[in-house]
Amino acid sequence: MTDAEHKTEDDDRVFKALAAPIRRRMLDILKEAPRTTGELCSLLPEVDRTTALQHLRVLEAAELVTGRKVGRERHLALAPLPIKRISDRWIGEYARAAVDLLGRLEGE
Amino acid sequence: MTDAEHKTEDDDRVFKALAAPIRRRMLDILKEAPRTTGELCSLLPEVDRTTALQHLRVLEAAELVTGRKVGRERHLALAPLPIKRISDRWIGEYARAAVDLLGRLEGE
């Protein structure tokens, strides 16, 4: 497999992970603060624990969430690098100021 | 429909648009330079014109691409605001410097 094919597979994992509203909500929750698995599940009462853990595995496989074992618990955190890669790919370092300005103008 | 539901629908359009590798390639091409529809199609020889136009409609519905009629042609350009919203949602203004640094450290 070529580097480009590997890259497309990694991208696919990220974009497929982001395609589900429940997984985007999990990232929103983890952006506020790191959480244990139990805390995260209790903040998502609309899905059962098994379903929540499945979604979590998809996010971890895409490297959007990192988990660290602390005693009996796992501490989960948002991992922003895949998001940064999306932003760099289509906005880029140098265009940021212009896009920020455009965003502010549209918000008015 | 509430504002939050509208927002989730808009998000869904963006993330579903980004979930297909061919549509990500179209954005890569348009990031390099704006193109006419004909130019864009000729840069994607692996899909026929009808298929390319269907993917283009998905990108335009998600507001990731803007089209402007110039004479008989349509001029297409990457529209970066949905990408900026993704970055702002999970990275945010203030965390940018830290994430940039992290990105540089990982790249070493």
Domains of chain A, start order: 3-79 (1.10.10.10)
A27 contacts on B by Cβ (under 8 Å): 90
Q: Which of B27, B90, B100 sits opposite A78 (nearest CB)?
A: B90
* Cβ-contact A56, A76 below 8 angstroms: yes
Number of inter-chain CB pairs under 8 A, A vs B:
79
pLDDT digit string (tens) for B14-31? 999 999 999 999 999 999
Q: Which of B11, B19, B81 sits opposite A103 (nearest CB)?
A: B81
User: CA of B104 to nearest chain A CA: how many angstroms apart?
Assistant: 10
DSSP annotation of A73 reads E
Residue B74 Ramachandran class (φ > 0 left, ψ -120 to 50 alpha, else beta): beta
Does residue A53 register a pLDDT over 70? yes
- Cβ separation of B80 and A100 shorter than 8 Å? no
- Cβ separation of B99 and A90 shorter than 8 Å? no
Mean pLDDT of A57-64: 97
Q: How far apart are CA A62 and CA A60, in angstroms?
A: 5
Residue B10: what pLDDT?
A: 86
- Cβ separation of A106 and B19 shorter than 8 Å? no
DSSP annotation of A47 reads S
Tokens representing B19 are 């979930």
* Cβ-contact B78, B65 below 8 angstroms: yes
Mean pLDDT of B31-43: 95
Q: How far apart are CA A21 and CA A17, in angstroms?
A: 9
Does residue B94 register a pLDDT over 70? no
